[in-house]
Amino acid sequence: MILGHPVAHSLSPVFQGAALQRAGMSTSYVREDVAPERLVETLARLASEGAGGNITLPHKEAAAALITRCTPVARDVGAVNTFWAEDGALVGHNTDVDGATATIRALLPGGPDDAQQQPVVLFGAGGSAAAVMVALRDLGYRKITLVTRTMARAQALSVRLAIPATVMASESRDEAVADAALVVNATPLGLHDNAFPVAVASLPARCAVFDLVYRPGLTPWIAACRLAGMRAEDGLRMLIEQGAAAFEAWFDVPAPREAMWQSLDAAPPAYDQR
């Protein structure tokens, strides 16, 4: 199941249902709309039922505070998006890091030595940005710039994660991305409108672009970046890969990724090596 509020839009039941069917499992995966004031009682009920599942907005950070048995990565990020039951209690985990890692690796396939020299600009300072920062750290990226409307929040995130980062105000976005090898949008911009985190013309020609937002087709920003010849992905690969990592955590078997992609009538983007 997936818990959220609202949650009717979630694609997780589609691709997790396909994964369960491909794996020959009779387990069902459903949506459960949980208002914030019902989260405590819902988590307690799921622990008693021995349930497992996912958690989406707006509950990820609240769940991390409520679930006492969190994995190190969930504690690092400060958010839980995956859970299962052990000995009558829930274990909280975060697979958003896995999803971000898979997407960054696809966009910038070099190793740790390359990563250390490649500047990354990250828009946002919330829970999604935290997951991306942990992924960047684990991949070896060291030149990270956070661009945000609230600089104090970004500075606090950098300190909490113990990941050094330069912090710049949103008004300086064009300057921030001037030398970027990778630009990541971890804000809601583009989810319900056609706003761009930064103008495509401000991005370096060989920059890679990652938008955590996903919409039917592509987000307008990613479509424009691809039109300009850039490696660019929306949040669909991250969505599938975080779901695959959750599937593997629940069942300890490889996730049928091909079936998950096919259920959404999509395929992972492929790039020429360069």
Is residue 143 part of the annotated active site? The answer reads no
Q: What is the DSSP string of the chain?
A: -EEESS-TT--HHHHHHHHHHHTT------EEE--GGGHHHHHHHHHHHT--EEE-TTSHHHHHHH-SEE-HHHHHHT---EEEEETTEEEEE--HHHHHHHHHHHHS---HHHHHH--EEEE--SHHHHHHHHHHHHHT---EEEEES-HHHHHHHHHHHT---EEEEGGGHHHHTTT-SEEEE-SSTTSSS---SS-GGGS-TT-EEEES---SS--HHHHHHHHTT--EE-SHHHHHHHHHHHHHHHHSS---HHHHHHHTT---------
Of 59, 60, 93, 143, catalytic: 60
Instruction: Please name which of 133, 127, 134 lies closest in space to residue 146, comparing C-alpha atoms.
Output: 133
Catalytic residues: 60
